[in-house]
Amino acid sequence: MTERPLLLLDVDGPLNPFRSLFAGLRGYTSHRMHPDVWLSYRDPDSRSARRGARVRLHPSHGPRLLALPFELTWATAWTHQANTMISPHVGLPGDLPVVEWPELFVKDPADLSWKTRHLVDWAAGRPFAWVDDMITPRDRAWVAAHHPAPALLLRVLPRHGLRERDFTTLERWAAGLSPAER
């Protein structure tokens, strides 16, 4: 039996369309959360830190993601808190694998996303789709040159979040993998 490709999933942008003015009109619900990565950039006594980050999540995203032919993995600065804070609100299991970052937000010498090199190492030659709002053409070119298996780098705009066309793109890409590529 072949393995399913990895789906490396970011939170802010794809699941939390933090730049959307109309997320509530599209079925997103708003939550106040206190993720460690967000708190690390705030004065702990500030009003902002007490209120928490505003996170918009769509309850249908979890079932839609689980229906895809992928092995879901968190690839986010939320790290393990994605399982405890995000999963319950979108209908994902609370024990998804999490990419362990050596360090967050490190400036890359080739101006790649701070995640790119580590995700290629983490995938260890397996096919993967990476869904994030910070993907650039430079990241795509680097992955194509340094990853031996198929890879889809799907940029999701933070004002839209995951949309129907993104789910379609993921389904088609996975369906197009040959058994030898899995």
* Tens-place pLDDT, residues 59-85: 999 999 999 999 999 999 999 999 999
Task: Give pTM, 2 decimals.
Answer: 0.93
Q: Evaluate whether 60 touches 92 at the Cβ level (below 8 Å).
A: no
Q: CA–CA separation, 121 vs 115, rounded Å?
A: 10
Average pLDDT value for residue range 151-164? 97
Give the least confident one: 22-36, 75-89, 156-170: 22-36
Query: Which position has the token pair 């830190």?
Result: 49
Q: Evaluate whether 127 touches 120 at the Cβ level (below 8 Å).
A: no
The domain 6-18+58-181 is placed in CATH, from the list 3.40.50, 1.10.287, 1.10.390, 2.60.40, at: 3.40.50
- The amino acid present at 32, given as its one-letter code, is R
Average pLDDT value for residue range 95-123? 96
